[in-house]
Structure 1
């Protein structure tokens, strides 16, 4: 019979509700697998961008393109079904954080910081639910182009004044999110999210990865605003549009290789997050 010490080591009754959820070993493993799947998606997006830059086979350098690429590989459909579960559990974990607070040091945060953290957790929950939904579509043999969906939504919203204002606001928010990623990477403020001592390699992967992803996100927001100003919804083509716009610039191939390599770096950092992120 296990003694009280053993019991408390495996399950802490004093922990916050979200911490008790995260302490479930099966839940945690699948949630961490969400970081692995996210890493794979980012690796494939970066690979497609580099391939386009080098004049190789085309493709869509975004989430849908990455999942199409994955589905075409041996065992890819199985990986996508795993991704559906992993992304869903990751979203539920973030949703629990949004509702109940962070499981790691919640008492140390000020009220303002706690509100910001909950908003970020909710935003991440939405992102991971979207990933799960997309993976579900491709696992079933369906799935659509993210770029086409972005263009279609933009076109419909541009027919009304309220929709146009909403698009500009969305573009500014996306740019702000990108700027936050750049700041997080440049200042290495992602380190408190990790447990234990971090190696120089992990710190460098995080720095480069966050900055590269932030610039890519900001470019998406800029394209949304540009699409509104020009009344050309085709300009709002998401991440794929941002990459291809970059590739069309002088020295575009070099810039696109650099951007794709940065996204690959973030993918590699995602593998580190799977192991070291506090839950």
Structure 2
């Protein structure tokens, strides 16, 4: 068996390889497809034509019902697995040249969080592909289980605040255009670059707003001690729809989510890491 240094060196070589770049690009394309489907379901919700839950799982179920849909869902599952591998390598080796230790650990934590998101989406895709799972989020039952734990109400509240914080960071990242670091120079210059930056800007802001609403629902559930008041993305978008000018706001968020999907395609083409 190879020694630990040899194994570490091999993993670093994999992380730095052209093969890994191709794998990441495939995963980003899959992630973009999910967001475009999600945007379409949000538009359907806005105009009262809702068939599937406007959530990641709902988007996968919608895709599975299309011709060759299950094959495409399997491809998305593989794409998410590739992104998980990327995030694991980023946690282990991606920050080895970072001189600021605090910044390096913050980036590792961010990579770990993204890995969890990709992993959950990938598992949902596998369940959808094999005909299991549901297009419903089921967050109220999950919240109820958390509420039953010691200090469960506090835990749910902290989860809500964490989600709100994540949403706020995405809005900041979109507004400040910090996401441009994820594109190479060609991806941020010229007419195409301007379009890619616009996709990223509206995409990150829209995702951040949607997440902040999800977090707010969790926090409200914690305050009222009513698990059914919590909800995933589907319930968050429904909350937007019920607000004044909700239909317009929901369509705007849907456009933003679609923009994020297109930004994923742009990032796959102009990957910088």
Structure-2-length-normalised TM-score: 0.90
Match of 2:129 in 1: 139
Match of 1:6 in 2: none
Match of 1:207 in 2: 201
Match of 1:116 in 2: 106
Change in Cα spacing, 1:230 to 1:268, as seen in structure 2 (3 Å) is: same
In the alignment, which of 177, 186, 193 is matched to residue 175 of structure 2?
A: 186
1:270 aligned onto 2:264 = yes
Match of 2:6 in 1: none
Displacement, 1:50?
Answer: 0.9
Structure-to-structure mapping, 1:145-160, within 5 angstroms: 145-148=135-138, 150-160=139-149
How many residue pairs end up in the alignment? 261
Question: Partners in 1 of 2:140 and 2:50 — Cα distance?
Answer: 23
Structure-1-length-normalised TM-score: 0.88
Unaligned 5+ residue runs, structure 2? 1-8
- Corresponding residue SS for 1:190: helix
Q: Decide whether the 8 Å contact of 1:18 with 1:101 is kept in 2.
A: no
| Runs of 4+ more than 6 Å apart | none
Match of 1:85 in 2: 78
In the alignment, which of 21, 38, 60 is matched to residue 67 of structure 1?
A: 60
Unaligned 5+ residue runs, structure 1? 1-15
RMSD: 1.9
Displacement, 1:110?
Answer: 1.6
Q: Decide whether the 8 Å contact of 1:235 with 1:241 is kept in 2.
A: no
Match of 2:230 in 1: 236
Q: Decide whether the 8 Å contact of 1:219 with 1:242 is kept in 2.
A: yes
Displacement, 1:272?
Answer: 0.9
